[in-house]
């Protein structure tokens, strides 16, 4: 067999493999779904909704809250928050859905994990009760807006970029030039307004004077124990404690049944693990920059 023939066969085999992988991905995506699994058995039901990542999109969490709110067999919801926050709008949408569920008469108890800061705290404010571990990092009441500049890099490699715009602020935050002082003032006005919205929600939901919130609303994080002292959470406790509180608020006598959504992995995901999912999240987060964020940025 000639060398050319071997190359042709190899290319055809690679194309067949890629096509098969593509078909497998489509088929497995079509037949994948979410179903509820029982975490612990008992009497009447409590649902658990988990937020265990930076807040990029509100869609999945909002969908779960709506689903459980409309399910009459669910007496209460435990909202497990393990997040440093994220996008402002997405955080606000989740908060509104949590609040809507609470106001509809369905108790919502937040259980804070290791970190429930900034947007993670914002979404918690809509709950009936907030339970934090003593060592939980929460708070971080503030707004951050970050973007990168590539001007020096482009100058070094000899690449130029032209922008044609209709107003002086149209390309504010462009990575291809330095930000002017006027633009920085403009961005501060945006941040101040969104910051004010955060402070207002905390003050109203926690029943605190605005001046008392402002004392701690400088972006700092505090422990769960400090948060209880300052009035930002209701009590200290574990996930199990939060479930018991939810059962009590939901009028459940005895041990409740706990259910949560379990997403069935597609065949494609089983083959390659969670790598593709993580790459997708990173890509989504990068492509949506710059964006106003209620987000705690850790030192590491």
What the chain holds in terms of domains, given with CATH numbers, is 39-142+218-286 (3.90.226.10), 143-196 (no CATH)
User: Stretch 23-52: mean pLDDT, rounded?
Assistant: 69
User: Stretch 51-62: mean pLDDT, rounded?
Assistant: 95
φ, ψ of residue 247 in degrees (nearest 5): -60, -40
Q: Which two tokens mark 145?
A: 């807006």
Q: Which of 58, 91, 111, 118 is catalytic?
A: 118
With a CB cutoff of 8 Å and minimum separation 6, the contacts of 80 are: 48, 49, 50, 51, 52, 110, 111, 113, 239, 242
pLDDT value at position 297? 76
pLDDT value at position 234? 98
Q: Beta strands of the chain (E only): which ranges?
A: 34-40, 45-51, 74-83, 85-87, 108-117, 129-132, 137-139, 221-223, 235-236, 257-263, 293-295
**pLDDT exceeds cutoff 60 at 34:** no
Task: Tell me whether residue 170 is one of the annotated catalytic residues.
Answer: yes
For 127-149, the pLDDT digits (tens) are: 999 999 999 999 999 999 887 87
Q: Which of 6, 170, 215, 264 is catalytic?
A: 170
Q: Are strands 293-295 and 108-117 parallel, antiparallel or unpaired?
A: unpaired
Q: Which two tokens mark 192?
A: 């101040």
For 57-110, the pLDDT digits (tens) are: 999 999 999 999 999 999 999 999 999 999 999 999 999 999 999 999 999 999
pLDDT value at position 169? 85
With a CB cutoff of 8 Å and minimum separation 6, the contacts of 296 are: 84, 85, 115, 117, 118, 120, 137, 140, 221
Integer Cα distance of 188 and 68 in angstroms: 39
Per-residue CA distances from 73 to 133, 180, 243 (Å): 29, 57, 16
For 200-219, the pLDDT digits (tens) are: 999 999 999 999 999 999 99
For 256-290, the pLDDT digits (tens) are: 999 999 876 555 555 555 555 555 555 545 444 56
H helices then E strands: how many in the chain?
11, 11
pLDDT > 70 in the chain, percent: 76
Integer Cα distance of 143 and 294 in angstroms: 5
Tell me which of 16-20, 55-59, 122-126, 136-140 is least confident.
16-20
Per-residue CA distances from 75 to 96, 106, 131, 132, 292 (Å): 20, 7, 18, 22, 35
pLDDT value at position 102? 98
For 235-245, the pLDDT digits (tens) are: 999 999 999 99
pTM value surpassing 0.85: no
Q: Are 294 and 86 in contact (CB under 8 A)?
A: yes
Integer Cα distance of 249 and 263 in angstroms: 28
Task: Tell me whether residue 118 is one of the annotated catalytic residues.
Answer: yes
Q: Which residue has the tokens 């002086």?
A: 168
**pLDDT exceeds cutoff 80 at 250:** yes
């Amino acid at each position: 067999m000639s060398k050319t023939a071997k190359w042709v066969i190899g290319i055809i085999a690679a194309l067949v493999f890629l096509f098969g992988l593509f078909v497998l991905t489509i088929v497995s995506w079509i037949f994948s779904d979410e179903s509820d699994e029982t975490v612990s058995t008992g009497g009447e039901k409590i649902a658990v909704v988990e937020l265990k990542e930076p807040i990029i999109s509100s869609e999945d969490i909002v969908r779960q809250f709506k689903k459980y709110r409309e399910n009459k067999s669910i007496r209460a919801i435990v909202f497990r928050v393990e997040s440093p926050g994220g996008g402002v709008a997405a955080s606000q949408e989740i908060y509104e859905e949590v609040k809507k569920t609470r106001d509809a008469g369905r108790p919502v108890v937040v259980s804070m994990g290791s970190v429930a800061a900034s947007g993670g705290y914002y979404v918690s404010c809509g709950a009936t009760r907030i339970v934090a571990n003593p060592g939980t990092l929460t708070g971080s009441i503030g707004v951050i807006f970050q973007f990168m500049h590539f001007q020096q890099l482009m100058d070094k490699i000899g690449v130029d970029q032209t922008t044609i715009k209709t107003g002086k602020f149209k390309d504010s935050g462009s990575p291809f030039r330095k930000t002017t002082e006027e633009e920085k003032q403009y961005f501060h006005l945006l941040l101040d307004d969104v910051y004010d919205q955060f402070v207002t929600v905390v003050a109203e939901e926690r029943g605190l004077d605005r001046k008392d919130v402002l004392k701690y609303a400088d972006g700092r994080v505090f422990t769960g124990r400090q948060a209880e002292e300052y009035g930002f959470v209701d009590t200290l406790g574990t996930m199990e404690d939060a479930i018991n509180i939810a059962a009590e608020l939901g009028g459940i006598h005895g041990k409740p049944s706990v259910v949560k959504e379990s997403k069935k992995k597609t065949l494609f995901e089983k083959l390659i693990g969670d790598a593709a999912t993580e790459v997708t999240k990173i890509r989504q987060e990068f492509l949506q920059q710059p964006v106003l964020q209620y987000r705690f940025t850790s030192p590491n």
